[in-house]
Amino acid sequence: MINKIDRQFLELQLDAEDMYRNFNKILELANTIISNYGHDMGEILLQPKKGNVAFGCGKENWAFTLTTFARIYSKKFGVDIDKMKEKLWGDNYYDTKNKRWYTEPTNEEGEKLKRPFCAFVVEPIIKLSRSIIEGNTEQMNKILTSIEVSLTLKENEHTGNDLLKLVMSKWLNATDAFLEMIVMHLPSPKAAQKYRVSHLYEGPQDDEVAASIRDCNPKGPLIMYVSRMMPTTETGPVFAFGRVFGGTLSAGQKVTIMGPAYIHGKKDDLFIGKVPQVVSMLGRL
Amino acid sequence: MVWISIEQVRELLSKPENISNAIIVASIKHEKSTITDSLAQKAGITNYVLQSMLHKDLNEDSLTSPPMSLYIMRVVSLKKTKMMLILSILSILWTMSTFYLKPQLLSGSPMAFSSLLTILRASVCKLMLYCMQLWMKKSDQF
């Protein structure tokens, strides 16, 4: 997610085209790093066209992907969502007068055209945000009606940043964008562990432990990566927080603990312990 | 607070192809916790009923939505929870019966017999609870 985009138009007063260029720069930098490290992971480059990039503001709990807007505009233009996503990013321009798509920033009459990302995505957000911050209720209500967001009487009492947060999180809820990206683009452990096994396990890649990780096999030998030791109280027990990559973890089970200094085949930093209890992490109020 | 039964967790984990593991990595003050909280809330792993009770105006005003935090909770089987409740009630009734029966026992039987009975009942209660704890620990697994 490209975060804090509200600061670009509220504080830096950038226009939509400048914002587009900034986003493109950020994505290019990120993709350079990804292409250096993610050789065997398939196509994981960040491409807004694919809907795997979100833009938004975490503090105000709003974010969107191009899929969010492609869904809205595909109905309006009568185009397929995937085609709309392609049009919303890159060197595509739309002439609102002639209702035609171009690949160059000027039409036949020499008029300057806007990118659909700027005209249909960023500019409505900028307009709405500025109208709320400036207290322009008339314009705000007009935009709210067009985007089908309604406010209750109590919600209407808010002003400034509070109202902005409320309206934006109602219109472009960050959680929806994230959940969509998680479901559509993140691989399942069964798919991911096939290529991750060589990074996760230092031992021979053809033994039963590697096979247990690769197949995500609950009946194979137990392999758990402990990422953090979490103390409960000052003198109380310490929870080992981690992820099971293979096998099944049970209370009372005997396990071999390999410390950070352990080298495969040697006995340094190697202990045998017992799992006294298994707990799960949940959310609470 | 939400109690998820171990059966539910096992069912979810039994289909790894349906799981998506996500991680939130960001610089300081980039609202990682806010995003995590809203995701946890959306996923329904928080008790919305309790949340609504404490914050009655939650539905009307999302600005009052309270912050959440992730915490560790023991995964308990629903069957075991029910059994635990029944056994706890039984053990309480058993202990209480000692006090009710004590005067009758004292009047009809020697003191030594009454004390022995009390000790016996307390030991049975403790043994029951210990067995239950052992049973719960043994079969909890991921």
Name the most confidently modeled range: A38-42, A223-227, B34-38, B72-76.
A223-227
For the segment A45-70, the average pLDDT, to the nearest whole number, is 92
Co-location of B60 and B87 in the same domain: no
| Greater model confidence, B86 or A143 | A143
How far is the C-alpha of A263 from the C-alpha of A201, rounded, in Å? 11
Q: What is the pLDDT of residues B25-83, one digit of tens each?
A: 888 888 888 888 788 777 765 544 444 444 444 443 443 344 444 444 444 555 666 67
Rounded CA gap, A40 and A192, in Å?
Answer: 10
pLDDT above 70 covers a percentage of chain A that reads 98
| CB within 8 Å of chain B, chain A residues 237-266 | 239, 243-244, 248-253
Rounded Cα–Cα distance for residues A256 and A50 (Å): 43
Asked if B40 and B14 sit in the same domain, the reply is yes
What percentage of chain B reaches a pLDDT higher than 70? Answer: 43
pLDDT at A128 over 80: yes
Cα nearest neighbour of B74 on chain A: A279
For residue A152, pLDDT beyond 50:
yes
Look-up of token digits 């309790």: B50
pLDDT the model gives residue B68: 44
Size of interface A-B (CB pairs under 8 A): 147
Mean pLDDT of A152-179: 89
ipTM beyond cut 0.90: no
Mean pLDDT, all residues of chain B: 65
Nearest to A166 among B2, B51, B63 (CB): B63
Domain boundaries, chain A: 6-185, 189-274
Confidence of residue B98 (pLDDT cuts 50, 70, 90): low
Question: For an interface test with B, which of A170, A229, A248, A280 has the most B Cβ atoms less than 10 Å from its Cβ?
Answer: A280
Confidence of residue A99 (pLDDT cuts 50, 70, 90): confident
Which pLDDT value is given to residue B105?
55
Instruction: Identify whether residues B86 and B125 lie together within a single domain.
Output: yes
Q: Which of B1, B30, B141 sits opposite A251 (nearest CB)?
A: B141
B73 part of a folded domain: no
Residue B33's H or E segment, with its range, is: helix B32-42
Tell me what pLDDT residue B57 has. 42
pLDDT reported for residue B58: 41
pLDDT at A31: 94
For B5, nearest residue in chain A (alpha carbons):
A280
Is B27 part of a structural domain of the chain? Answer: yes
pLDDT tens by residue, A244-263: 999 998 888 999 999 989 88
Residue B133 lies in a domain: yes
The reported pLDDT for the residue numbered B49 is 44
- Give contacts of B37 with chain A, Cβ < 8 Å: 283
Query: What band does A111 get if pLDDT is binned at 50, 70 and 90?
Result: confident
Shortest distance between the Cα of A264 and any Cα of chain B, in A, equals 26
The average pLDDT across A181-192 equals 91
CATH class of domain segment(s) A6-185:
alpha beta
Instruction: Flag whether B101 is in a domain.
Output: yes
Q: Do A191 and B17 touch (CB under 8 A)?
A: yes
Contact between B37 and B65 under an 8 Å Cβ cutoff? The reply is no
Answer yes or no: pTM beyond 0.80: no
Q: Is B49 domain-assigned?
A: yes
Per-residue pLDDT at B24 exceeds 60: yes
Among A12-26, A48-62, B92-106, the range scoring the smallest mean pLDDT is B92-106
CATH no. for A189-274:
2.40.30.10
Mean pLDDT of chain A: 89
Question: Is residue B71 in a domain?
Answer: no
- Phi and psi dihedrals of A238, rounded to 5? -115, 130
Q: Which structural domain range is residue B31 located in? A: 6-64
Q: Could you give the number of structural domains in chain B?
A: 2
Mean per-residue pLDDT for A181-204? 90
Residues B84 and B131 in one domain: yes
A218-227, long-range: CB < 8 A, 24+ apart = A218/A246, A218/A247, A218/A248, A218/B13, A218/B14, A219/A247, A219/A248, A220/A246, A220/A247, A221/A246, A221/A247, A222/A246, A222/A247, A222/A248, A222/A249, A222/A253, A222/A255, A223/A247, A224/A249, A224/A255, A225/A200
Q: How far apart are CA A133 and CA A159, in angstroms?
A: 8
